[in-house]
């Protein structure tokens, strides 16, 4: 049996290889053109880094469905499942679908950073800090429509393109609804586990769900496969967000690229705080300040110690693990191949990653 | 011959009748649902009023194409041009297309008001003033994806739905590009007439162009008709914006629903200021303050008098008139019917309206 460390390294290597291809595709699909400042601002966060996890899920799902060796087929000329039938579309641009999803992700980060007034993202200034508020709003809006333009241009059958756009549009709507819940939760102290999980599904998981099912839609898979993959994405996406909430407390600020414990400072509701409150912890008093610049490492250490004592952090870890196992079980519908194996490992990685 | 006054009243009556139907459709297509505050904020500006000029152009173009009596056919079960052919789509929901365009317009207004930090819109507080910055950004983002969802649901043939979405997405991109130019123009004093017209085309006219050509796309008209209608919309949209710039100077604040002359105060470039600068006027010195709350009516009166002396306002009026005539000429491609007549009159109305 491979060691956990070696396994994680293998997954990261697989992620990196797809990331490099996605990074090469972004300037092709979203070139910097006049008005230059607008497109530079739109590309700023995309170019600042990111693991491209959602595009990796999308591209790997496509490979599993097509039953091809990972990285053996050009993503820009990817086979469909009906390619051999007369009059059908044989090749589509799967990379466009991957870039589109990443562009949506980037748009939401730019606008979220304005809403949360966060200064840093991926270790660089947020777009509204590097540029200004106006440019950041407009850069997000530009990415929004560009994501639709790029997804419209995969060359898939028109009825499948319509379905793909439907998924993309409803996904964006749900992300907005989730963000709205997330903001309103900051004012509330009666958020239940169900409330939290619904918010996380909308805010984060739907984009993973879209990433996993879009290849099936575009490649003309059946409804059962599309549904199963959507479910896989939803499960691992929720697990990803829960792990993100854990990492916000446990990873040093330098590695996070932002202040550790910022969720606590800003009164964000997470599965951890919801659990701790159920255990009788006065969560609002864990950190005195509401200003991330004023909090000390010692205060955060104390708060984390309390959340460990109540078992809230391990509760979150367990829930994330269960979700990942549920998600993996849904992949039974795919052919048994190397790409599917990678989708299992990606699911594990989302909750085992250190940052 | 009918008097100009009676003619304007007839156009307004036609606009009002369509506006009432659009207003009845908006809550159907965009119901207020949880998270309630988000949807209330999204609907706030839509419910505050508006003439629904773009939906009116869209619905009337559909009637002209279908060669039906105005207002005689249910917009939610509208005939296509290929309806009689076996296997084709016979009825589509044209109202959805109209609402989608209005929803895009509303999204851009919400975000523009944040960018320009305008307090008032349609006589009520801007969304970021009535709610807050976060909610306003998110309300705009929600309308954005909802517009795509609504346009995806007309029931048109998939290939035509793809074409419609393509128009919608590229239109949104151009609106962002236009807004970016508009903002950057405020810092410049070398904006040419061509620069201005390109900015106006992107910022304003493309949504009129989309409104005019979308019925042709959805109803399966030929490419020549689609192109001609796009051109009509582009021409009247540019004329509309030029007239808007004139009205900003000439209509009392109470009727405008915002401070008269605010474009001058905020150093917005308009065809009028570009022309005046070419005549040697120091446009930046026309109004001393950059604060709309500090400007006096007398200052604005003096500035307007100067712009009248240089012929800049009549220059703008003439350019708008020429564009409207160009646009009307493109409608030759439509059947000669009452709805086409109304499209002529709508074009005239856009530059003859008092506010």
User: Model confidence over B299-311: pLDDT tens digits?
Assistant: 999 999 999 999 9
- Comparing CB atoms, the residue among A111, A168, A169 nearest residue B137 is A111
A161 interfacial to chain B (CB closer than 8 Å): yes
Band the pLDDT of B3: cuts 50, 70, 90. Answer: confident
Omega before B35 within 30 of 0, i.e. cis: yes
Q: Which two tokens stand for residue B150?
A: 């609504």
What pLDDT does A1 receive? 54
Q: In whole numbers, what is the pLDDT of chain B averaged over residues?
A: 93
What pLDDT does B279 receive? 93
Q: What pairing do the DSSP bridges indicate for beta strands B91-92 and B120-121?
A: unpaired
- Distance of alpha carbon B192 from the chain centroid: 23
The alpha carbon torsion through B185, B190, B191, B194 (nearest 10 deg) reads -150
Distance from CA of B232 to the nearest CA of A (A): 24
What pLDDT does A285 receive? 87
A 205-264 residues inside an 8 A Cβ radius of B: none
B35 interfacial to chain A (CB closer than 8 Å): yes
What pLDDT does A355 receive? 67
How far apart are alpha carbons A65 and A78 in whole angstroms? Answer: 11
How far apart are alpha carbons A108 and A210 in whole angstroms? Answer: 15
Chain B residues closer than 8 Å to A165 by CB: 148, 152, 162, 165
Q: What is the 3-state secondary structure (H, E, C) of A199-210?
A: HHHHHHHHHHHH
Using one digit for the tens of pLDDT, what is the confidence trace for A131-156?
Answer: 999 999 999 999 999 999 999 999 99
Chain A residues closer than 8 Å to B157 by CB: 158
Using one digit for the tens of pLDDT, what is the confidence trace for A238-294?
Answer: 999 999 999 999 998 888 877 889 889 988 889 999 999 999 999 888 888 888 888
Distance from CA of A343 to the nearest CA of B (A): 29
pLDDT at B138 over 80: yes
Total residue length of chain A = 355
How far apart are alpha carbons A161 and A218 in whole angstroms? Answer: 7
A71 interfacial to chain B (CB closer than 8 Å): no
Most confident by average pLDDT, A110-119, A256-265, B211-220:
B211-220
- Comparing CB atoms, the residue among B115, B158, B170 nearest residue A162 is B158
Using one digit for the tens of pLDDT, what is the confidence trace for A64-97?
Answer: 999 999 999 999 999 999 877 777 788 999 999 9
Structural domain harbouring A123: 4-352
Q: What total of structural domains would you count in chain B?
A: 1
ipTM value for the complex: 0.94
Q: Is residue B115 part of a domain?
A: yes
Mutation to test the B interface, candidates A103, A114, A148, A178, most B Cβ within 10 Å: A148
What pLDDT does A291 receive? 85
How far apart are alpha carbons A105 and A146 in whole angstroms? Answer: 12
pLDDT at A228 over 70: yes
**CB distance B149–A183 less than 8 Å?**
no
Residue A287, H or E segment: none
- Residue by residue, DSSP assigns B102-153 as HHHHHHHHHHHHHHHT--EETTEE-HHHHS-HHHHHHHHHHHHHHHHHHHTT
Q: Would you say B117 and A114 are in contact if contact means Cβ atoms under 8 Å apart?
A: no
Residue A132, H or E segment: none
What pLDDT does A10 receive? 87
The alpha carbon torsion through A205, A211, A217, A222 (nearest 10 deg) reads -60
Q: Is residue B245 part of a domain?
A: no
Share above pLDDT 90 across residues of chain A, in percent, rounded to a whole number: 77
How far apart are alpha carbons A33 and B129 in whole angstroms? Answer: 34
Place of tokens 């792990």: A243
Distance from CA of B69 to the nearest CA of A (A): 32
How far apart are alpha carbons B56 and B52 in whole angstroms? Answer: 6
**In terms of pLDDT, which residue wins out, B230 or B86?**
B230
- Distance of alpha carbon A114 from the chain centroid: 19
We report the CATH number of the domain holding residue B86 as 1.10.600.10
Which runs of E-coded beta strand occur in chain B? 78-79, 91-92, 120-121, 124-125
How far apart are alpha carbons B117 and B133 in whole angstroms? Answer: 10
What pLDDT does B294 receive? 86
Q: In whole numbers, what is the pLDDT of chain A averaged over residues?
A: 93
What pLDDT does A269 receive? 86
- Asked which of A121-130, A304-313, B135-144, B215-224 is least confident by mean pLDDT, the reply is A121-130
Give whole-number Cα distances, A312 to A245, A308, B84, B178, B229, in Å. 11, 6, 65, 50, 61
Q: Is residue B269 part of a domain?
A: no
Average pLDDT rounded to a whole number, residues B278-286: 90
Which runs of E-coded beta strand occur in chain A? 78-79, 91-92, 120-121, 124-125
Chain A residues closer than 8 Å to B135 by CB: 180, 183
Q: What is the DSSP letter of B221?
A: -
How far apart are alpha carbons B329 and B288 in whole angstroms? Answer: 43
pLDDT at B187 over 90: no
Residue A97, H or E segment: helix A94-116
pLDDT at A340 over 60: yes
pLDDT at B221 over 80: yes
**In terms of pLDDT, which residue wins out, B11 or B5?**
B11
Total residue length of chain B = 355
Mutation to test the A interface, candidates B34, B148, B170, B202, most A Cβ within 10 Å: B148
pLDDT at A215 over 90: yes
Q: Closest Cα partner for A162 from B132, B337, B156? A: B156
């Amino acid at each position: 049996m491979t060691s956990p460390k070696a396994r994680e390294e293998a997954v990261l290597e697989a992620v990196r290889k797809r990331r490099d291809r996605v990074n090469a595709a972004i300037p092709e699909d979203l070139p910097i053109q006049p008005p230059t400042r607008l497109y530079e601002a739109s590309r700023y966060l995309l170019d600042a880094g990111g693991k491209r996890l959602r595009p990796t899920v999308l591209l790997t799902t496509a490979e599993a469905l097509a039953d091809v060796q990972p990285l053996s087929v050009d993503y820009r000329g990817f086979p469909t499942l009906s390619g051999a039938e007369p009059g059908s579309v044989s090749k589509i641009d799967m990379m466009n679908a991957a870039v589109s999803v990443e562009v949506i992700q980037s748009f939401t980060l730019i606008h979220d950073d304005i809403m949360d007034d966060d200064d840093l993202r991926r270790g660089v200034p947020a777009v509204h800090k590097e540029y200004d508020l106006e440019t950041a709003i407009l850069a997000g809006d530009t990415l929004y429509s560009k994501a639709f333009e790029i997804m419209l241009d995969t060359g898939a059958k028109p009825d499948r393109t319509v379905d793909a756009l439907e998924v993309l549009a409803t996904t964006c709507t749900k992300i907005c609804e989730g963000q709205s819940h997330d903001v309103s939760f900051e004012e509330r102290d009666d958020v239940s586990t169900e409330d939290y999980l619904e918010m996380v599904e909308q805010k984060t998981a739907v984009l993973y769900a879209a990433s996993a099912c879009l290849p099936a839609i575009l490649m003309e898979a059946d409804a059962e496969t599309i549904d199963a993959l959507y479910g896989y994405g939803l499960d691992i996406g929720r697990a990803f967000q829960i792990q993100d909430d854990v990492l916000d407390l446990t990873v040093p600020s330098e590695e996070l690229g932002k202040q550790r414990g910022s969720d606590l400072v800003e009164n964000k509701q997470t599965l951890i705080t919801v659990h701790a409150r159920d255990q009788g912890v006065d969560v609002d008093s864990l950190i005195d300040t509401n200003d991330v610049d004023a909090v000390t490492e010692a205060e955060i250490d104390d708060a984390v110690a309390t959340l460990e004592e109540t078992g809230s952090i391990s509760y979150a870890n367990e829930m994330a693990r269960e979700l990942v196992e549920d998600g993996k079980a849904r992949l039974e519908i795919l052919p048994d191949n190397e790409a599917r194996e990678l989708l299992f490992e990606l699911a594990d990685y989302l909750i085992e990653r250190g940052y």
